[in-house]
Amino acid sequence: MNVGLLGFGTVGSHFYLLAQQQPGVKVKAVLSRRPRPEVSCLVTADVARILSDPDIDTVVEAMGGLHPAYEYITAAMEAGKHVITANKQVVCTYYNELLALAEKTGVALRCTAAVGGGIPWLTSLRRAARMDKMVSVEGIVNGTTNFMLSAMVRRGASFADALHEAQLLGYAEADPSADVEGYDARRKLVLSANLAFGVSLMEEDIPCVGITNIQPRDVAVVRDKGLTFKLMAYACREARGISAYVAPVLVQQHTTEANVEDTGNILTLVGEHIGRQSFLGAGAGGWPTASNVLADCLAVAAGERGYYTRDCTPCFVKNELLDGQWFYRFKGEYYFRQCTAEAAFSTYAVHLMEDPEALMAKVR
């Protein structure tokens, strides 16, 4: 396999090093605006040199962002090249188009590294969804916010210091608001739910609350109740569609989720017959994420084609049947409320109009 590598940031540079040790996976060219003296193959700022090279059969996109990643991915597929990406934003946003293009061109499109960093989640979910009817998917899917919450809970770090540390360690997205506002988790939820339920969800349809309003006093209050905050994504099959949300969740301190620390992710599927299965591991960082990119290369080299599924029926998000307990801080007062997820997010939107620092969390 001859690879054209687009991007040489955290994921790209680690993939380059991993590929050096993998017979059969040869990086032939790297797209980079800057000189890369550590790279022994062609380094170019001209993507056309990679996309028009008939010797390059596979493009690994590790640039992130929507544009020009989308244009480069589609051009590569049109040129008959397989595409492997860690870019959840581009796959989530152009889901139907990219699946259709993979089908039309007969190439492989894989993004296992896009959800769960180094965890083989999408491949495991695909395996489960082929043999069983999926009931729900959920998990801690953002390493940056989990790292930050761990630092805030265990070391009493401030929100700003914890974020700065996560950025220095290369965990955060280029725009870290995608992490702390929950958008990165929501994209990972879309990719997971789409695969689990054979649907195509719109990212914007899923209510999403991040961790920006969690304050040290909240951490102390919930700790006294034997609880801890985790940012979690959840989706389940309902009678009339799919229920889904991203929100801070209060989990009991003795649970597995509560003890997923630092950049750890945990992803759980529930199937009608196989029951509950959880996948736990490193959810961010160069080596784990690049390992999943490399695993995708090996799968393509072994003959995998297309996307993981062809099923992508457009589907609405319906949260009016999903009942549960929710926790709020509004104007300095804490309270619990039993209601549907739809009502919970509506209440929070009203709270935010009067108190921009208001907090909401799901109680597990």
What are the residue numbers of the active site? Answer: 188
| Binding flag, residue 296, ligand HSE (CB under 6 A) | no
Subset of 180-239 contacting ligand HSE (CB under 6 A) = 184
DSSP line for 230-247: EEEEEEEEETTEEEEEEE
| Binding flag, residue 64, ligand HSE (CB under 6 A) | no
- Closest distance between ligand HSE and the C-beta of residue 188, in Å? 7
DSSP line for 160-189: HHHHHHHHHTT-S-SSTHHHHTSHHHHHHH
Euclidean distance between CA atoms 138 and 244, whole angstroms: 9
Alpha-helix runs per DSSP H in the chain: 10-20, 47-51, 69-78, 88-93, 95-105, 121-131, 143-155, 159-168, 177-180, 183-197, 216-224, 286-301, 341-354
Chain Cα centroid distance, residue 360: 22
Subset of 134-153 contacting ligand HSE (CB under 6 A) = 142-144
Q: Which of 179, 181, 257, 342 binds ligand HSE (CB under 6 A)?
A: 179
Q: Which of 182, 210, 283, 286 binds ligand HSE (CB under 6 A)?
A: 283
Which segment (65-73, 171-179, 336-344, 352-360) binds ligand HSE by CB under 6 A? 171-179
Binding mask 20-39 for ligand HSE (x = CB under 6 A): --------------------
| Binding flag, residue 61, ligand HSE (CB under 6 A) | no
Euclidean distance between CA atoms 112 and 293, whole angstroms: 7
Subset of 91-120 contacting ligand HSE (CB under 6 A) = 117
- Closest distance between ligand HSE and the C-beta of residue 170, in Å? 9
Ranked by CB distance to ligand HSE, the top (closest) residue is 144
Residues that bind ligand HSE in the complex, under the rule CB under 6 A: 117, 142-144, 171-173, 179, 184, 283-284
